[in-house]
Chain A
Amino acid sequence: MKILNARRINTIVSMIGYLFVWAPIVVLAIFSFNASAYGVKWESLTIKWYVDLFHTPEIMQAVLRSLLIASITTIFATAIGTLAGYGLYKYKFAGRRFLRMSVLLPITVPYVIMAGALLVYFTRIVHIPLGYPAIIIAHISFSAPLAVFVTLGRMQRINWSLEEASVDLGANTLTTWRKVTIPLLLPAIFASAVLIFPWSFNDFTVTYFVAGVGTTTLPLYLFSMLEYSLKPVLINAISLIFIIMPILLIMLIYLSKARTKHGS
């Protein structure tokens, strides 16, 4: 009887947790189809806000900017991070532990501080122009560590004897990399990219500090809409199309992959 109670309380608390995490997003999604422009009262069903969205050039520009930044960041951060993860796993060298700890630094120090430090560094010391260059450099600093740890986490599960076999059979380093190592690393590369792209696309704090004037990404645009309370319903529509849908898609891809792997 007592077990049943403990179990029931456990289940109830967990359900409250799920409800708390999901309710605001689900309600936001539902209200993006609400005809009332300002109210929180439900009026009637409409898709007018979605049509509006595609007819607002500033929003479309912001989306394109965010996509561009996220794409470049993903390519560079994934490359640097995956290579580093591979090297950290494969080779023993002086300063290995220190490097591992250092990679953690940008994600453990509060974002405001790292982003503020980058702003001061870019404007006062190295004179990197704010805007695209600054945003992309800053994004790589924050997201390459994600790729490092994703790769490190997956390294144990990879069968490295294939790489040794390739060397034993006389392939040179470059061929081994091209034909064996990179294919073996592909799942790690994919997992890193899937994590980094949305991170960069959705980042607000880091972009806010180093964007300067004119490089308004989607999160910055959303922020200004919120600050000046412009068209709240449009915000709902933006959220659903550009932020929640892609994430659900990634989740579906992930789950279907997990299932096929389980089946085979």
Chain B
Amino acid sequence: MVAAKNDMKRKTHLHLLPTVGPITIWIFFFVFAPVAVIVAISFFATGSGGEILPRLSLENYRLLLFGGSEYPRAVIRSILYALVTNLICLGIGYPMAFWISKYGGKFKALLLFLVIVPSWSCYIVRIYALKQLVGYPGILNDFLLNLGLISSPINILYTPAAVVLGLIYIWLPFMVLPIYASLEGINPSLLEASLDLGATPQWQFLTITLPLTKGGIFGGAILTFIPALGDWLVPLLIGGNRVWMAGNLIEHYLVVRGKIAMASSMAVILTATVVLLIYVFIKLGGEESMERIV
């Protein structure tokens, strides 16, 4: 019996190597190692010319947090934009998911597909398309001017509102999916029972549907809040150089100015913020919100 069990175990080990082996090695060398390197670099001192000195210090963090740097403000701005984006995505995404789930009938798959498909196309193209439609000069402005509905062009580009609009446009589909999955997972007999017991549809929604889709809502929150928080292309392309989020500063210090240590410290601060927020969302939404992400 024991021998058989040991045999089973050895067999499992034999199978582990070719199946989960490659990804383990890959993740170790090309995910963990790079992250470990920037975490380590962030704790080294920087010389006057930007070179990394072999001396441990908290200088980068001190400069970033208390040295009058623009970074803390950029992080707070990013959190704020991501929060507004997230709430508006929820406001549009929940009704969409609910509508597909309830009235989609045999077109459910198609309707869901129509939400996701645009998110498969190139990020740059999508932002450009939005810019061309609502910007100035832009197609919508031109159209409204010609109709005489507005007397002077409305230019929303390069404002915080434009950045938030862009973020909603990019991340909305990722709110619909987990909520839809959650709605589809509700046991229909619960809904029937509540109606039998005399609940009005509104009451039923508030007491049964909404609480049961909590996991989907927080799953969607993770999928929209986190990427919106770390976004840098929307502020770059729609916000011009006027509205910088945390990601823009990281890119600027790393690529343009070559200040690796400073950029690493910024990345560590932003990652810590993200991890903390994911933790809060999972605590609020329960285990299900984790499942709904993947």
Binding site for B on A (CB under 8 A): 2-3, 6-7, 9-11, 13-14, 16-18, 20-25, 27-28, 31, 39-41, 79-81, 83-84, 86-88, 90-93, 99, 102-106, 108-114, 116-121, 124-125, 137-138, 140-141, 144, 148-149, 152-153, 198-199, 201-205, 209, 218-219, 222-223, 226, 232, 235, 239, 243-244, 247-248, 250-251, 254-255, 258
* Separation of A80 and B21 alpha carbons in the complex (Å): 9
Some 23 contacts from A to B, beta carbons below 8 A apart, are: A11-B103, A22-B114, A24-B134, A27-B132, A31-B132, A80-B23, A83-B18, A109-B271, A112-B250, A112-B251, A140-B26, A148-B23, A198-B120, A199-B120, A201-B122, A202-B120, A202-B122, A202-B125, A218-B122, A226-B124, A235-B125, A239-B121, A239-B125
Contacts of B103 in A (CB 8 A): 7, 11
**Which residues of chain B in 243-257 are interfacial with respect to chain A, using CB atoms and an 8 Å cutoff?**
247, 250-251, 254-255
Nearest to B222 among chain A residues (CB) is: A108
Count of inter-chain pairs, beta carbons less than 8 A: 261
**Which residues of chain B in 12-46 are interfacial with respect to chain A, using CB atoms and an 8 Å cutoff?**
12-13, 15-16, 18-20, 22-24, 26-27, 30-35, 37-38, 41
Instruction: Name the distance in Å between B156's Cβ and chain A's nearest Cβ.
Output: 14
Q: Are A239 and B270 within 8 A (Cβ)?
A: no
Q: Which of B115, B134, B138, B274 contacts A18, CB < 8 Å?
A: B115
Q: Are A255 and B109 within 8 A (Cβ)?
A: yes
Contacts of B33 in A (CB 8 A): 121, 125
Q: Which of A10, A138, A152, A204 contacts B123, CB < 8 Å?
A: A204
Instruction: Name the distance in Å between A178's Cβ and chain B's nearest Cβ.
Output: 13
Q: Are A141 and B95 within 8 A (Cβ)?
A: no
Q: Are A114 and B113 within 8 A (Cβ)?
A: no
Most chain B beta-carbon neighbours within 10 Å: one of A16, A86, A117, A144:
A117
Q: Which of B34, B129, B141 contacts A117, CB < 8 Å?
A: B34
Nearest to B135 among chain A residues (CB) is: A40
Q: Are A204 and B132 within 8 A (Cβ)?
A: no
Binding site for A on B (CB under 8 A): 12-13, 15-16, 18-20, 22-24, 26-27, 30-35, 37-38, 41, 91-93, 95-96, 98-100, 102-103, 109-110, 113-115, 117-118, 120-126, 128-130, 132-134, 137-139, 141-142, 168-169, 172-173, 176, 201-202, 222, 226-227, 229-233, 237, 247, 250-251, 254-255, 260, 263-264, 267, 270-271, 274, 278, 293-294
* Separation of A243 and B117 alpha carbons in the complex (Å): 11
* Separation of A152 and B271 alpha carbons in the complex (Å): 27
Most chain A beta-carbon neighbours within 10 Å: one of B13, B34, B38, B129:
B34
Q: Which of A83, A92, A153 contacts B23, CB < 8 Å?
A: A83
Q: Are A17 and B172 within 8 A (Cβ)?
A: yes
Contacts of A248 in B (CB 8 A): 117
Given contacts A10-B95, A108-B278, A141-B31, contact A116 B124 (CB under 8 A): no
Given A13-B99, A93-B12, A204-B233; 16 other pairs, CB 8 A cutoff:
A13-B92, A13-B96, A17-B95, A21-B172, A40-B137, A91-B20, A108-B222, A110-B226, A111-B227, A113-B267, A116-B267, A120-B264, A141-B31, A201-B122, A239-B128, A255-B109
Q: Are A239 and B137 within 8 A (Cβ)?
A: no
Instruction: Name the distance in Å between A21's Cβ and chain B's nearest Cβ.
Output: 5
Q: Which of A9, A110, A255 contacts B230, CB < 8 Å?
A: A110
Given contacts A28-B129, A222-B124, A258-B109, contact A108 B260 (CB under 8 A): no
* Separation of A16 and B88 alpha carbons in the complex (Å): 13
Instruction: Name the distance in Å between A250's Cβ and chain B's nearest Cβ.
Output: 8
Q: Are A14 and B95 within 8 A (Cβ)?
A: yes
Given contacts A118-B30, A120-B34, A120-B260, contact A235 B128 (CB under 8 A): yes
* Separation of A130 and B113 alpha carbons in the complex (Å): 36
Q: Are A108 and B18 within 8 A (Cβ)?
A: no
Q: Are B113 and A251 within 8 A (Cβ)?
A: yes
